[in-house]
Structure 1
Amino acid sequence: MAAAAECDVVMATTEPDLLNEEEAKREAESFKEQGNAYYAKKDYNEAFNYYTKAIDMCPKNASYYGNRAATLMMLGRFREALGDAQQSVRLDDSFVRGHLREGKCHLSLGNAMAACRSFQRALELDHRNAQAQQEFKNASAVMEYEKVAETDFEKRDFRKVVFCMDRALEFAPACHRFKILKAECLAMLGRYPEAQSVASDILRLDSTNADALYVRGLCLYYEGCIEKAVQFFVQALRMAPDHEKACAACRNAKALKAKKEDGNKAFKDGNYKLAHELYTEALAIDPNNRKTNAKLYCNRGTVNSKLRKLDEAIADCTRAVTLDDTYIKAYLRRAQCYMDTEQYEEAVRDYEKVYQTEKTKEHKQLLKNAQLELKKSKRKDYYKILGVDKNASEDEIKRAYRKRALMHHPDRHSGASAEVQKEEEKKFKEVGEAFTILSDPKKKTRYDSGQDLDEEGMNMGDFDANNIFKAFFGGPGGFSFEASGPGNFFFQFG
């Protein structure tokens, strides 16, 4: 009896376990088949749920993990998929599709070397597997793109780095490292909206990603928003205190802001020499910050214009617009310097650029003034011909004419060479023209305003300079220059 009871007990505890295991396998297979059906319909969330149920029923079945890994890959959840793929090959090292999926996850996440190992293992199990062969080539290509990008980054060939990362991301779409490197290079190339977009996409998935925070700050920093940039750098350093790039950028941003503000204060205080020194020191902090450096060059150009170093001011403004060709203030400053140095064509060009960008009344008037001065500059400068200031009085104009007319009168140079006689005759005529215009208030007003003198019916090529000379000196008849000693002449009317 005791033996029979003992056997019953044994039967009672063993048989239900065997039945439950078989039932679990059948139920797990049912869940897997349902998962396959949803997968075929591309309903990956439901497929995931049923594969999970299958795994819960039979946690040591490699294919279930492999199927769920494939589903997670379709959902873009590569890190979770990698865990399932790795579990599938731990359970069955001969599971080729498990190794392929593990390699694909590694590659998608940017770990090309680990991907190569997985694909190599798949090829060891099935050396004719076409997918494994192709994926191994893809992983090898990604490693080559990484290598080239690293070299080109050191050379500051950021365009080539972006190209390499774009190619690598075709095979590794979930690699944050590649995306961050691309975004950083886009920022260095001044393509800030693109860089911001890449960094923002990463931060939506991981708000604590220090690299993405650094790139966001870098974009703001290069766009001239230094205070906001510092906030992002500080946040990045909270996430990763040893982040070298964020640390260096934060240090540069703070130094640049402080030095620029010191320069502005010195300028407002009228200490132009100190302001010039401070702006120069600020320019040495970070040559890559084009926007801020453009402002610094323009500021230093303003200082130079105050110091009447107009050529240096023009050079600084030129550097500013080279760094930022949309910087209106620099164009205006340079245009004014061009006006002050009588380089009117250059001034007109700058004012045209400004007016095309910002069509304001003020800019239109500045352009008109420059165009007028350019028009006037292309005519004969009668003030310069007479050697008088533009504000010269009537008496000063008369005295100047008397002096220049006697100096250049043809009779005075009758003994000179034909070439000299011709040149002096030309100057004598120009002196007469100048006096004719500047001694007549109406003509002088028209000349000063840039209007065409021909509109009054005056043809300056037809008048007789000798008649003007006679009329001015008031002689009754002919005139001549006679020598009164070596090199001395006196004028005598007949």
Structure 2
Amino acid sequence: MAAGDCDVMMAPEPSGAGEADPEREAEIFKEQGNVFYAKKDYNEAFNYYTKAIDICPKNASYYGNRAATLMMISETSQIQERAQYVTMPMGHLREGKCHLSLGNAMAAGRCFQKVLELETNNPQALTELKNAEAVLEYERITEVGFDKGDFRKVVYYMDRALEFAPACHRFKILKAECLALLGRYPDAQSVASDILRMDSTNADALYVRGLCLYYEDCIEKAVQFFVQALRMAPDHEKARLACRNAKALRAKKEEGNRAFKEGSFDEAFELYSEALKIDPNNIKTNAKLYCNRGTVGSKLHKMQQAIEDCTNAIKLDDTYIKAYMRRAQCYMDTEQYEEAVRDYEKIYQTEKTKEHKQLLKNAQLELKKSKRKDYYKILGVDKSASEDEIKKAYRKRALMHHPDRHSSASPEVQKEEEKKFKEVGEAFSILSDPKKKARYDSGQDLDDDGMNSGDFDANNIFKAFFGSPGGFSFEASGPGNFFFQFG
């Protein structure tokens, strides 16, 4: 990190510093110090930061600013005015604290060792040396943690390191990058923005800002930040890789969207699949890609694939209402009504709109209807079947399951066929009656208003339908074959 790093926020000269609030007064002194720092008047900046520290001695940022100011003083001719400190323990101690505040723990350690060479038991030097060694250990741990993808550990140890090195941009950037990788985008952006307010050309901070936007699916803006970071630091490998991924992801997603709009669903499915392979870490964008591919899957009648894709989208982003909506519709289309009800309940709990309430009611109704006998299935017809189609279906199924046809079968088969014969008659009695059919289709209970679905005789319905004048029988016309004969 460059020696000139300092928590500078440009501010106009305050009108007064005599506020009753100590914290506000300290902030005014800090802002005045910032102004002098920006003017490169480091002596005056040092004096104002010291005033801020005197008022609020526990504010780490004030120490960081003053440390950065001392580093700048040490790099100018003004060091001559403080030459007496260089050969004295206090001079080495102060320089070491500056190095440590800026995150240069090895340089800080050397300074504290010089103090101990002059004063073996100097308590401040002993304490600060332990702090420098601790920071070095935190750096080692975070390096291993980052390589293993343990970003929470990195954030934890960077916070510990920043207690001793509050002015270290390098530590702040590493923490911000890990916060972004953990999905804590506002926190990461806050850290990066603070640095950019001090130094708008900081390539690392530009990269982190771009990374946050990229992971929030603001790819266009993210690319702008990556490009700016590369302009400041052409060899910034992370920014280069992120920029390449962002551009590839944007292009592939747009190609998939275009293919979908043109009705080229197979092509869209492949393009979304290719986009999903680009960056597994981009959770929000991948959630949208999974949902898009799920929509394509439903268009291709790959319902199970569509459900799996929507489920993957929800795993990545459990607040993604569009994915819940798509999956719920797929469940409805495949008659998985209990699952559909669960999804619509989740949707309605999140967004209590009239549309979502109605979708939930529809799913609940279909679930209720699914638990009754499916008369359409019993007759083997669609729900849109006409009156003639229902009659033809009844004729076929009634003859197929009539007990007389199975009189020579085993008792178990006879019992089963008799049950089916009664169900066919029950189905016909409901679906052939416009009023009962309407109530059945709407999910209402058929027992209301005296319309009991079981109040019928299957044989009477059969006789009435076929108009038998006086008996009927089934006679064998070959092995397993029968024909119906009226008496």
Matches within 5 A, 1:207-286: 207-286=200-279
CA distance in 1, matches of 2:264, 2:295: 13
Does the Cα contact within 8 Å between 1:218 and 1:249 map onto a contact in 2?
Answer: yes
Q: Deviations over 1:25-54 (max 9, x none)?
A: xxxxxxxxxxxxxxxx989969x99xxxxx
Aligned: 1:294 with 2:254? no
Aligned to 1:135: 128
CA distance in 2, matches of 1:140, 1:84: 26
Unaligned runs of 5+ in 1: 1-40, 50-58
CA distance in 1, matches of 2:156, 2:475: 85
The Cα shift of 1:161 comes to 1.2
Q: Which residue, out of 181, 184, 193, partners 1:188?
A: 181
What is the root-mean-square deviation in Å for CA atoms of aligned residues? Answer: 3.1
Does the Cα contact within 8 Å between 2:217 and 2:285 map onto a contact in 1?
Answer: yes
Aligned: 1:178 with 2:184? no
Aligned to 2:65: 76
Does the Cα contact within 8 Å between 1:44 and 1:74 map onto a contact in 2?
Answer: no
Q: Which moved more, 1:373-382 or 1:347-356?
A: 347-356
Query: Larger C-alpha radius of gyration, 1 or 2?
Result: 1
CA distance in 1, matches of 2:240, 2:184: 22
CA distance in 2, matches of 1:276, 1:78: 57
1:44–1:396: structure 2 CA closer, same or farther, 3 Å change rule?
Answer: closer
Does the Cα contact within 8 Å between 1:82 and 1:101 map onto a contact in 2?
Answer: no
CA distance in 2, matches of 1:388, 1:112: 81
Q: Which residue, out of 427, 445, 458, partners 1:434?
A: 427
Aligned to 1:314: 307
Does the Cα contact within 8 Å between 2:64 and 2:165 map onto a contact in 1?
Answer: no
Does the Cα contact within 8 Å between 1:107 and 1:171 map onto a contact in 2?
Answer: yes
Q: Deviations over 1:142-181 (max 9, x none)?
A: 1111111111111112111111111211221111111111
CA distance in 1, matches of 2:357, 2:364: 11
Q: Which moved more, 1:324-333 or 1:174-183?
A: 324-333
CA distance in 1, matches of 2:433, 2:188: 66
Q: Which moved more, 1:73-82 or 1:265-274?
A: 73-82
CA distance in 2, matches of 1:244, 1:367: 50
User: In the alignment, residue 266 of structure 1 is paired with which amino acid?
Assistant: A
User: In the alignment, residue 70 of structure 2 is paired with which amino acid?
Assistant: A
Matches within 5 A, 1:83-122: 91-92=84-85, 95-122=88-115
Secondary structure at 2:377's aligned position in 1? helix
CA distance in 2, matches of 1:243, 1:486: 84
Q: Deviations over 1:444-492 (max 9, x none)?
A: 0111111111223344456433333333333466665454554333446
1:289–1:125: structure 2 CA closer, same or farther, 3 Å change rule?
Answer: same
Q: Which moved more, 1:85-94 or 1:153-162?
A: 85-94
Q: Which residue, out of 412, 417, 435, partners 2:410?
A: 417
User: In the alignment, residue 444 of structure 1 is paired with which amino acid?
Assistant: K
CA distance in 2, matches of 1:355, 1:428: 43
User: In the alignment, residue 317 of structure 1 is paired with which amino acid?
Assistant: C
CA distance in 1, matches of 2:27, 2:459: 104
Aligned residues: 438
CA distance in 2, matches of 1:409, 1:42: 97
The Cα shift of 1:384 comes to 0.7
Q: Deviations over 1:74-118 (max 9, x none)?
A: 473212224557959963555223322222222221111122222
Does the Cα contact within 8 Å between 1:386 and 1:397 map onto a contact in 2?
Answer: yes
The Cα shift of 1:422 comes to 3.1
Q: Which residue, out of 322, 331, 336, partners 2:329?
A: 336
TM-score, length-scaled by structure 1: 0.80
Secondary structure at 2:65's aligned position in 1? coil
The Cα shift of 1:396 comes to 1.8
Does the Cα contact within 8 Å between 2:99 and 2:107 map onto a contact in 1?
Answer: yes
Does the Cα contact within 8 Å between 1:73 and 1:105 map onto a contact in 2?
Answer: no
Aligned to 2:374: 381
CA distance in 2, matches of 1:278, 1:73: 53
The Cα shift of 1:191 comes to 0.8
Aligned to 1:347: 340
The Cα shift of 1:438 comes to 0.4
Q: Which moved more, 1:285-294 or 1:115-124?
A: 115-124
Aligned to 1:454: 447
Aligned to 2:141: 148
CA distance in 2, matches of 1:180, 1:368: 50
Does the Cα contact within 8 Å between 1:94 and 1:125 map onto a contact in 2?
Answer: no
Does the Cα contact within 8 Å between 1:397 and 1:438 map onto a contact in 2?
Answer: yes
TM-score, length-scaled by structure 2: 0.81
Unaligned runs of 5+ in 2: 1-24, 34-42, 55-60
Report % sequence identity. 77
Secondary structure at 2:482's aligned position in 1? strand
User: In the alignment, residue 316 of structure 1 is paired with which amino acid?
Assistant: D
Aligned: 1:365 with 2:358? yes
The Cα shift of 1:273 comes to 2.3
The Cα shift of 1:362 comes to 2.4
Secondary structure at 1:190's aligned position in 2? coil
Q: Deviations over 1:428-451 (max 9, x none)?
A: 221121111101110001111111
1:73–1:425: structure 2 CA closer, same or farther, 3 Å change rule?
Answer: same
Does the Cα contact within 8 Å between 1:44 and 1:75 map onto a contact in 2?
Answer: no
CA distance in 2, matches of 1:272, 1:224: 23
Aligned: 1:303 with 2:296? yes
Matches within 5 A, 1:382-401: 382-401=375-394
The Cα shift of 1:314 comes to 1.7
CA distance in 2, matches of 1:392, 1:45: 84
The Cα shift of 1:357 comes to 2.3
Does the Cα contact within 8 Å between 2:375 and 2:427 map onto a contact in 1?
Answer: yes
Aligned to 1:35: none
Secondary structure at 1:489's aligned position in 2? strand
Secondary structure at 1:77's aligned position in 2? helix
